[in-house]
A and B are shown apart, each in its own frame.
Chain A
Amino acid sequence: MSQHESSNLFATMLSAAQIAELRAAVGADGLITGESQLQTYECDGLTNFRVLPEAVVLPRTAEQVQAIVRVCARHKIPFVSRGAGTGLSGGALPAAGGVVISLARMNHILEVNIPDRYVVVEPGVINSHVTQRVAASGYFYAPDPSSQSVCTIGGNVAENSGGAHCLKYGFTVTHTLALDVVLPNGDLVTFGSPALDAPGYDLAGVFVGSEGTLGVTTKITLRIVKRPEVVQTLLAAFNSPQAAGQTVSDIIAAGMLPSALEIMDTLAIEAAEAAVHAHYPMCGGLLLVELDGPAIDVEILMRETRALCEKNGATEIRIAQSEQERMLVWKGRKAAFAAMGRISPNYIVQDGVIPRTALPEVLMEIERMAAAVNLRVANVFHAGDGNLHPLVLYDRSIAGQEETALDLSYRILHLCVDKGGSITGEHGVGKEKQEALGYMFSEPDLATMQLIRCAFDPESISNPDKVFPRTRLCADRPGPYTPHPLETAGIAEIF
């Protein structure tokens, strides 16, 4: 049966008997079917896609997850697992007629092993809680998506989350040693091991980043990293983002591997200043460089970095003098997305990747494309790894402008692919970019990915109709950005 045919079957409502089976699987206090409560789960951070699920289940154990998934498998009910719902690509959007498996109650840190540098957690554990737990021993959990104060490890595993520091430290997959997974047929299996190179196929490597389409993870073994002796953050002001970009290239060419390299353009600086008062210098391109490591090394390399900034015409260079100052610098950077609301009524966040060297050319092209349709695009990017977050600003109240903005943001993604890059560096494909995946990969590439999908989930019930292009539906468009409730409440910054 093709995925498309089976998804038609999904549109049916759950029967009372099926609801009863779910209740038996998870207990009465773990089942939500009331419409007002279900609404909490109708979307994730990409709020313009909304589907009301038929039921939400809140298991407390892997056995309960198994029992739930078995009910779903028996009746071919689609399910989507969900952490905090901070994802930005609609990955946790429910399927019509389907079940949401919320892992919020599986939020225990099960084991901390400092000598062997790993932590075992349940999927509902919040990202920053892992670091908090091991900080006293001098360790941290490296992936730091900026929703880290609320997003969960299970969600990070689904999306292969990165963050500002993945240039040096890598992504969620770099730090995932082992996973327990409930497969879409209800079997509970273990991938990988806390010790390296478990024999067999690297299924942990495949599962991380599969956006919930291969099963539900119930236990994760994470690698933790020794906290560096010293961290230093430098801010340099340039007349243009291109000059800042050239400095990034020079830093890399000098053989340095900073822990973060971030650029913001004028619009982004303005917005961040308005929101957070980070005391950024007003300029055409602001570069943020963070170096960490042994104190002696960092001091020497920071001098080199300074010299490279001067060589490229930096009008102002500052080094954060205290941990407090450093935090303020990052607060401004992390607030940049939400801050767009200060300078534009509406905006769309994108997440393209380009080879670093294409940066000046792509920035110019984005500027040209935006000017041609009378829109503004603010740019915030992880410059070290070429991950752009163009923010297309527009006003929904002006007739036709939303469509123009959507079209522009979509064309920017295509531009990234044309320059040898990717349609997503950290937000995932989800619901939003299904069609764009078809622009990036050819038919045989996608068919090969489907072999993996079919081996894990032959009935296509685990987060169906996500990631891969749909055959008979019109092309997707990325959606306008509306702040997530958590974000407006000031709990999370999202980018």
Chain B
Amino acid sequence: MPQAATLTLADALPQLAAIVDVEHTHLGADAFSVAPANAEQISAILRFGSERGLTVTPTGAGTKLGWGNPVAPHIRLALNRMNALREHSWQDMTCGVEAGCSWAAMQAQLARHGQMVALDPLWPVRATVGGIVATNDGGPLRIRYGGLRDLIIGMTVVLADGTIAKTGGKVVKNVAGYDLHKLMTGSFGTLGVITEVNFRLHPLEVQARTWSAEVADPLLFEAPLRTLLDSHIIPSGLQLRVDAQQCAIDIRVSATPACLDDHAGQLTKFFAEIPVHESNESVWQARQNLFDQPGVVILKVSVLPSQICSTLSQLQAWSVAEGAEFAAVAQCNGLVNIALKAKPDTATALIERLRLQCNSVVILQFPAELHGHIDPWGFDSTALPLMREIKRRFDPERILNPGRFVGNI
């Protein structure tokens, strides 16, 4: 951008401070950190950025800033001041929340009326609504309640040119106009800045029980898992925890106590000679624990549900052969997180092998030593030119997280 060349960051400082205020505008070594108070200030910042060719990374708590291709923006736009639960219409089972609100803070308020947004993302205490939506994160609850695309009913977004746009609404059923919020969900901050999100809510799971079973090879779970998925049991969590030596399955069901007793009997039958025992809720921390390990590569792998056990079993064989360590937590809807501890060459080779047989393999936690050696997205689709065109229409100056997303969008 020619403008950026002539505009030094020091020159831009007073102009940004005039939009937000001095107290919330800081110039670090190579970037601004700006914390706007409302969508109008974000609009002014983005307009300024578009005019001057200053790149912007929207951020909440920053827990997932390392996901995707690295970006070195001129402006880090912190949403942490915009953190209010704006509306909780508990009788309508909907809420509207600002993007900078932490997930746990939002859920705590919703829980006062026995409700929740039925999603269990990573780092709930710190991670913000906006960041979770932008990265389309979600955990075990997804098997019962669907992902963010099924839970979001409306959104407010600020575009690169400063336009403040609303999409959807506050009602669960609504087919008026395009669902811009579906485009924004999982777009990694490349199309606009999410400032507010409306969710549909579900009742809290009051009575729930968790059962587990353990084997050495994930393949041994293939038959019982298939029977379970084909039964009338409706799990609200169903995961496999795997490393090179062993594999555990966890099953959570929320239902009436009488129903849960009945399910316990059924599960014992499904798993035949593999003993099933009741276990502690803490097993559902497994996915979080993967991400909390230091110095690992973390993948998000998507396969068809019927391929989970064979994929994990193969991974066990590969890791032994290649001398790599791994731990994986697989949701039985086919979304698998794998933490790899291996030399960069080994990690790269393993990822490439996985890409040959899985529907998609994305590198989430992407250590610097892999940068430039492998594409974190591994994405090749006939739809890529259209995605680029959408990016061009929404952000013609490429100021929003340029290069971070698929195909260097």
Contacts and interface: CB of A to CB of B under 8 A. Distances in A.
Interface of A: 113-117, 138, 159-160, 162, 166-167, 170-171, 173-174, 183, 187-191, 193-203, 205-206, 208-210, 226, 228-229, 249, 252-253, 255-257, 293-294, 296-297, 300-301, 353-357, 382, 385-387, 420-429, 433, 437, 440-442, 444-449, 451-456, 467
B33 interface: no
B234 A293 contact: yes
B173 A426 contact: yes
A302 to B, nearest CB: 12
Given A199-B406, A201-B186, A451-B159, 17 more contacts: A193-B302, A195-B303, A200-B381, A200-B387, A200-B407, A206-B183, A208-B179, A252-B91, A253-B91, A294-B262, A296-B259, A297-B259, A353-B173, A355-B94, A386-B171, A424-B175, A452-B183
A424 B167 contact: no
Contact of B304 (A116, A294, A355): A116
Given A424-B174, A444-B164, A444-B165, A202 B182 contact: yes
Contact of B335 (A166, A196, A447, A455): A196
Contacts of A174: 146, 150
Contacts of B255: 293-294, 296-297
B76 interface: no
Main secondary structure of the interface of B (DSSP, over half): loop
Interface in B204-230: 204, 206, 226, 229-230
B72 interface: no
A205 B179 contact: yes
Interface of B: 89, 91-94, 114, 136, 146-147, 149-150, 157, 159, 163-167, 169-180, 182-183, 185-187, 191, 202-204, 206, 226, 229-234, 255-256, 258-259, 262-263, 300, 302-306, 333-335, 358-360, 362, 377-379, 381-387, 389-390, 392-394, 405-407
Contacts of B206: 255
Nearest to B202: A257
5 closest A-B pairs (Cβ-Cβ)? A205-B182, A195-B359, A255-B203, A448-B165, A229-B232
A448 B234 contact: no
Given A162-B173, A424-B175, A199 B379 contact: yes
A440 B176 contact: yes
Contact of A422 (B176, B258, B304): B176
A199 B376 CA distance: 10
B16 to A, nearest CB: 23
Nearest to B405: A200
Contacts of B390: 201, 451-452, 455
B393 A297 contact: no
A406 B226 CA distance: 54
Contact of A203 (B232, B263, B387): B387
Given A190-B382, A357-B91, A437-B176, A420 B171 contact: yes
A422 B406 contact: no
14 contacts: A116-B306, A117-B305, A187-B385, A201-B186, A201-B187, A255-B203, A293-B232, A386-B172, A422-B169, A424-B174, A429-B177, A440-B169, A451-B393, A455-B392
Contacts of B174: 353, 421-422, 424-425
A253 B93 CA distance: 9
